[in-house]
Amino acid sequence: MWLSWTALGCTQPPPPSGPNDQVTVAGEVDLALEPEAVDFGFVPLGESGEQSLTIRNLGSSDVLVAELRLSDEDTLAVTGFASPKIRAGTEEQLTVTWTPSGAGDLEGTLDLRVGTQLDALSDLVVPLGGTGSGPHLSISESTGNLGTVSVGCTSTFETVATNDGTEALDITRITLTNDQEFSLEDGAGSPLALPIRIEPGLSIPIDVVYTPMDEHAATTTLQIASNDVLAPTTTVRVDGTGWIESSNRIEWTVEGQQAVTAIINFNWYALSTVQDRVVDDFLPALFEGLDDADLSYRLAIVMSSAGDVTGDTAYIDDSFTVDEALDAAGEMLEGGANTDNDAGLQTLLNAIEENSDWLLDDDPLWFDSRLNLMVVNSDVEQSPGNAEHYLDSYDDYKDRDNIVVHGIAGDPTTGGCSGSGLYAEASANLWEAADLSGGVFMSFCTSDWATGVPAFIDGFTGTIETFVLTDNPAPWSIEVRIDGVQISDGWTYDEKTKEIVFAPTAYPERGSELRVDYIMATNCPE
């Protein structure tokens, strides 16, 4: 026969009591329990609680304990039985252990199946109680699949972190195994800020944002580190698949850097006090910069207002070494000694006519070249016309888009300068010509103007061709390759003109193969 007993109450009338209020079970079986119910109290998560239970045999017959049953064998355990038989008049002490698997109350039981050799076994039920304490993290969704997402768009997976423990939960770190295409947000669209404290019973959203960068399957795993002692690291897996709606590839055979032609007008008297800065500083830096740019150029120096080049060399070009170029430039300067020419803009106009045979060469390389006209003069500009007049006059010889005026002269905004060996009068017309044509103007009043040569090199150079992308490129997706090698530096993308623009020193060599790949911008769902 089966009998059920509980020390905390039951739906059946209690078994009869023997002497000293002991519990009597089934005929000759007379057992007493101390205590009648086990209470572990508060047990921190990650630890175990232990309680002793004593079983006394007050009867005259030996009692067999045939089986011990625990309501949860994963968290409860019993130790201490030396023998399955409790002899009459003796007692047996057990140790009951509880290791909470989560925060909250324990409602468990220990069921002992007991009886004598002659009687049927009965159940002796011992209630087990207690409370697991500490922080405990639970996640609403531990896996998610965002499906197919267009490259350039985003999709968000939300999981909710809840503290269902009894103490504050601290999330100290969250890492992503794939942080290139996945990022974390706080549910309001802002980056997730750590550390995070969640009080008992409260929750916070954690958003995983997927931004595919290519057409492929992608996976990331969140690794959430917290003070939950049962699970110091909790993981969440998120999958997604990138999809490219449309892409494009454009290829060019590069025609090369635009050739450069240049006329520079120096005033001998104006520069006589600073000749060392011209010969020793400016000209060496200029020719070294042109040589480093590795482009085709033709350049001459004129001194007289007639615009003619003195000496045996008509022009200096890229076939000259830097030293050879400096020697030729020195001859052109010496041939104009004692020349006081303050009409720089007019001199440049005359020089175009005087040197038209090589400035306006029919060869396509030079015909399409960028014509640079430069004046270096510390006296006021005394040409008879204004800046706009001369730009229009230069346009009669070459398309104005390919003509640039540069200058080193007195700063027009300060009225020039004097003192410390420097002297320069304001030169407003020259400054305006440079401004209107997009050229470079540097003040003669600064002692380090020769260090500005890189700006003049940039101003001198141009390109024959433009590399324009079609349709609507996604700027972040643009990849540039020269002869099959991807190039990350030396170029920019102009979103207004949709052009790939190279820095002069990074311009692809003539004949190289330029390839640009990009993804079309898409309309992403809101």
User: What confidence category does residue 294 fall into, taking pLDDT thresholds of 50, 70 and 90?
Assistant: confident
For domain 137-244, the question of CATH label 2.60.40.10 is answered with: yes
**Distance between the two ends of the chain, CA-based, in angstroms?**
70
Write the CA distances from 282 to 278, 310, 387, 408, 448, integer angstroms: 5, 20, 25, 11, 10
15 pLDDT more than 60 = no
Contact 259, 370 (CB under 8 A): yes
Q: What is the per-residue pLDDT for 466?
A: 85
pLDDT at residue 67 in the model: 85
By mean pLDDT, which of 7-16, 162-171, 281-290, 347-356 is the weakest? 7-16
Annotated domain spans of the chain: 19-133, 137-244, 248-254+465-519, 257-463
Residue type (1 letter), 146: L
The average pLDDT across 22-50 equals 79
List C-alpha distances in Å: 420 to 270, 410, 424, 433.
Answer: 15, 15, 12, 29
Whole-angstrom Cα distance, residue 301 to residue 340? 15
Predicted TM-score (pTM) of the model is 0.50
The CATH classification of domain 19-133, taken from the options 3.40.50.300, 2.60.40.10, 3.40.50.1360, 3.40.710.10: 2.60.40.10
Specify the pLDDT at position 18: 41
Q: Residue 435: what pLDDT?
A: 95
Q: Answer whether 134's CB lies under 8 Å from 103's CB.
A: yes
Res 8: pLDDT: 29
| Three-state SS at 282 | helix
Collapsing DSSP states into helix, strand and coil, what is residue 400?
helix
Residues 6+ apart with CB under 8 A from 389: none
pLDDT at 135: 94
> Which tokens go with 406?
């540069």
Single out the residue of 170, 199, 205 nearest to residue 185, CA to CA.
Answer: 205
What is the average pLDDT across 61-66? 86
- The yes-or-no verdict on residue 365 having pLDDT over 90 is no
- Asked if residue 25 has pLDDT above 60, the reply is no
Residue 459 to residue 502: CA distance in whole angstroms: 14
Residue 26 has pLDDT above 70, yes or no: no
Q: Does domain 257-463 have CATH number 3.30.420.40?
A: no
What pLDDT, in 10s, does the model give residues 64-78? Answer: 888 889 999 999 999
Q: What is the pLDDT of residue 476?
A: 87
Q: Which of 190-199, 273-282, 326-335 has the lowest mean pLDDT?
A: 273-282
- pLDDT at residue 461 greater than cutoff 90: no
Selected residue with higher pLDDT from 449 and 417: 417
Taking 80 as the threshold, does the pLDDT of residue 420 lie above it? no
Same fold, 137-244 and 257-463: no
Does the pLDDT value for residue 377 go beyond 50? yes
